Chains A and B, each alone.
Chain A
């Protein structure tokens, strides 16, 4: 069955430090992959997406993610974290079978940023 795993429930980094959030997926076909961010009390906002082509994708707010098929991973990175990046981050994979376009979601990683 398709699944998405975010191994880290909670991560704390210092402001200015680099960040990597892990995402592993289980899906037989070519995956469509997404990272979303949820600030406290807000809805989810799309950070970036991967469908095909270049395996390093750039997103908003200075984030990037790299698709590695051999490792079934789609890790999110940022070279220098800002205090405003404190939020919940969700990885998702699209079920492109059929026409319902449902997403399978990871459980999220909560990011705290120390000043």
Chain B
């Protein structure tokens, strides 16, 4: 059982380039989330999804896009990368029923934009 997987682990982008961060979960969770983590700033929610075909903005969505075509996958797209997007990105998922609100996290993608 792999849980939540993210690729790539590390990436360096030049300003203006684009890329997609991949996230896959094998726990049949309906809810999925993208966070960014900056030193001393905790976790900021970028986008989330409550099921295939349904996505919504979090606290810091500007500069990012998401899609959710399947239950398993929730890719995050960066268009026109900027230095302010240098961060560690985490994908997470959770159950959609009962009291199981806890989120399960992937290992993260460390992105540097120069």
Contact = CB atoms under 8 A, between A and B. Distances in A.
Contacts, number: 54
Contact of A42 (B41, B43, B103, B107): B107
A110 to B, nearest CB: 9
Assign chain A's interface to a size class: 20 to 34
Interface string B11-47: 0000000000000000000010100000011110100
Contact of B101 (A43, A44, A94, A108): A94
Contact of B102 (A46, A90, A96): A46
Contacts of B43: 90, 105
Interface of B: 4, 31, 33, 40-43, 45, 48, 50, 56, 58, 90, 92, 94, 96, 99, 101-108
Interface of A: 9, 32, 34, 36, 42-46, 49, 51, 90, 94, 96, 99-103, 105-108
